[in-house]
């Protein structure tokens, strides 16, 4: 099973942001090359002759387009009891790749508040919207435990929707 993630940006003329994320180097790579970037040495025939290393430290292996992030175990500390809760590792990767510290993150279907909690931890502002009583209560409890300054406001009294900002 896999999910396809879509992103939206307010101004279509603005260049999309992508902060490359990296995986750690394999033990064999570290043993052979250490933490320095590798460079291929190519012969006159265009074939790779050997590799060498540079003086520059590598950030690791660029993250691929398939991310293997496990589900939350039933006894996981981050469990809130919300049925469709996503792992913080997934949201941390997305928030890091698509925003910079100080940016504002919008989650229009806040649910358990995972995106908001991760945004807060990574130094981003956030706006969360949900109209479910359980989602709003779960998110307020979760962020309250983090010490976040919540300012929930009712969008309209009849629907019970709330906006949560920080």
Per-residue pLDDT reduced to its tens digit, 122-151 = 999 999 999 888 998 899 899 989 887 777
Task: Look at residue 67 and tell me if it is in a domain.
Answer: no
Q: What is the CATH number of the domain that holds 131?
A: 3.40.50.150
Residues 160, 105 share a domain: yes
Position 36 in a domain: yes
Q: Is the pTM of this model over 0.85?
A: no
Domain carrying residue 51: 24-62
Q: What is the share, in percent, of the chain residues with pLDDT greater than 90?
A: 46
Residue 158 and residue 100 share a domain = yes
pLDDT band at 67, cuts 50/70/90? confident
Domain-embedded: residue 129: yes
77 in a structural domain: no
- Residues 151 and 108 occupy one common structural domain: yes
Q: Does a structural domain hold residue 136?
A: yes
In a shared domain, residues 102 and 141: yes
Cα–Cα distance for residue pair 22/59, rounded to 1 Å: 6
Cα dist from 59 to 29, 38, 119, 159, whole Å: 13, 11, 23, 48
Q: Tell me the Ramachandran region of residue 123: left when phi exceeds 0, alpha when psi lies from -120 to 50, beta otherwise.
A: left
Considering the domain architecture, whether residues 95 and 159 belong to the same structural domain is answered as: yes
* pLDDT of 5 higher than 90: no
Report the pLDDT value the prediction gives residue 79, as an integer from 0 to 100. 93
pLDDT of residue 157: 45
**Residue 123 belongs to some domain of the structure:** yes
Same domain, 92 and 150: yes
């Amino acid at each position: 099973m896999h999910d396809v993630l879509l992103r939206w940006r307010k101004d279509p003329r603005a260049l999309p942001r992508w902060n490359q994320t990296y995986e750690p180097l394999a033990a064999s790579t570290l043993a052979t090359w250490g933490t320095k970037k590798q460079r291929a040495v190519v012969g006159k025939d265009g074939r790779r002759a050997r590799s060498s290393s540079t003086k520059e430290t590598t950030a690791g292996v660029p993250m691929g387009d398939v991310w293997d992030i496990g589900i939350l175990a039933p006894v996981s500390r981050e469990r809130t009891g919300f049925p469709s809760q996503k792992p913080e590792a997934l949201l941390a990767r997305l928030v890091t790749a698509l925003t910079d510290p100080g940016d504002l993150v919008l989650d229009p279907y806040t649910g358990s508040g995972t995106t908001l909690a991760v945004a807060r931890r990574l130094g981003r502002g956030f706006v969360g919207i949900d109209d479910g009583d359980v989602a709003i209560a779960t998110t307020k409890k979760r962020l309250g435990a983090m010490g976040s300054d919540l300012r929930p406001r009712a969008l309209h009294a009849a629907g019970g929707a709330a906006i949560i900002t920080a």
